[in-house]
Amino acid sequence: MVRLSPDFGREAFALARGCRAVAGVDEVGRGPLAGPVTAAAVILDPDRIPEGLGDSKALSAPRRAALAEDIAEVAEVSIAHASVEEIDALNILAASHLAMSRALAGLPRTPDFALIDGNRLPADLPCPAEAVVKGDALCLSIAAASIVAKVCRDALMVGLAQQHPGYGWDRNAGYPTKDHKEALRNLGPTPHHRRSFAPVRNIL
């Protein structure tokens, strides 16, 4: 399988059309049984793009952490979440879009254009946008957002793991691994479990 390398082509095209700030947006945490869904928005400086940006899922945890620090030093970054309560009330897709909209709104300046990972655009965006399927493998700005969002959410789940030991969130980030599902059956759900997700709902 050929692994794609993201480039700055879509961003450069938007900048050439007169946009001053182009943001990449991605989210992590749609699949877990516990914890929020987290989104990041990143405006890269075309002259200071960190080396080695790529799909966060293809990078090791230490490499992601180092890149997240590099991105924070040279780019404009915003991170936002949608809570477990919002996921259960809305559904995971709508909650993911809410987190993305919040991340864009939280940037130091409103971008002129946004590149959003996925095949659908969230409502209530503060600027025109394009949906990019597999965007974290194609666009450097989206790749940067995917790294920042994953590092942030993983750290958040490590913190929650200390409050709720036994579920392995420091290792599985809330995803439905075998040990997580076993702990769910043995210990029951926590306030951080998504009650609308079948494995949690079935236990309740």
pLDDT tens for each residue of 113-141 = 999 999 999 998 999 999 999 999 999 99
The whole-number pLDDT of residue 204 equals 81
| Total domain count, the chain | 1
Angle at 47 between CA 43 and CA 51, to 5 degrees: 80
The CATH number covering residue 128 comes to: 3.30.420.10
CA distance 80 to 96: 10
Tell me if 78 is assigned to some domain.
yes
Tell me if 177 is assigned to some domain.
no
Tell me if 107 is assigned to some domain.
yes
Tell me if 179 is assigned to some domain.
no
CA distance 97 to 130: 14
Tell me if 173 is assigned to some domain.
no
pTM here is 0.96
- Quick count: other Cβ atoms within 10 Å of Cβ 92? 20
**Domain assignment of residue 27, given as a range:** 9-162
- Token pair belonging to 109: 């300046």
Tell me if 145 is assigned to some domain.
yes
Cα-Cα end-to-end distance for the chain: 41
The whole-number pLDDT of residue 21 equals 98
The whole-number pLDDT of residue 137 equals 95
Tell me if 169 is assigned to some domain.
no
Tell me if 138 is assigned to some domain.
yes
Q: In sequence order, what are the beta bridge partners of 27? A: 39
The whole-number pLDDT of residue 164 equals 97
The torsion angle over the Cα atoms of residues 185, 157, 85 and 78, rounded to 10 degrees, is -160
With a cut of 70, which residues of the chain have pLDDT below it? Answer: 1-3
